[in-house]
């Protein structure tokens, strides 16, 4: 399995136990690489190992850019001035 396929599969798997639609041969390859854990009872589920979670986080930060780069391109925060609000008048 290529690196791109591996990262694509890791994006569909969570750190908690969940079901997935990834083919069994790819799950077996991920499990052999110690990136995921599988369990068949009571229902077939899969979750990321700590190593798999690190790989997924590194890949996500690589594809989305670092937080410093995002902050450099972000618009500066502007504080809005409070609007002048008049007090409500009595109805009677």
Per-residue pLDDT reduced to its tens digit, 79-90: 556 677 777 788
7: which residues sit within 8 A by CB, 6+ positions away? 55, 56, 59
Q: Cα–Cα distance between 78 and 76 in angstroms, integer?
A: 6
Per-residue pLDDT reduced to its tens digit, 63-77: 655 555 555 555 555
> What global pTM score does this model have?
0.62
Q: What's the burial of 65, exposed, middle or buried (CB within 10 Å: 0-12/13-18/19+)?
A: exposed
Q: Cα–Cα distance between 62 and 54 in angstroms, integer?
A: 12
Per-residue pLDDT reduced to its tens digit, 13-61: 888 999 888 888 998 999 999 899 999 888 889 999 998 888 888 877 7
């Amino acid at each position: 399995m290529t690196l791109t396929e591996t990262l694509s599969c890791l994006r569909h798997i969570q750190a908690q136990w969940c079901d997935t639609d990834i083919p069994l041969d790819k799950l077996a390859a991920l499990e052999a690489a110690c990136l995921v854990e599988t369990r068949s009872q009571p229902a077939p589920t899969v979750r990321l190992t700590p190593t798999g979670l690190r790989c997924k986080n590194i890949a996500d930060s690589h594809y989305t850019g670092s937080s410093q780069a995002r902050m450099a391109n972000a618009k500066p925060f502007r504080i809005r001035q409070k609007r002048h609000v008049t007090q409500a008048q009595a109805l009677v």
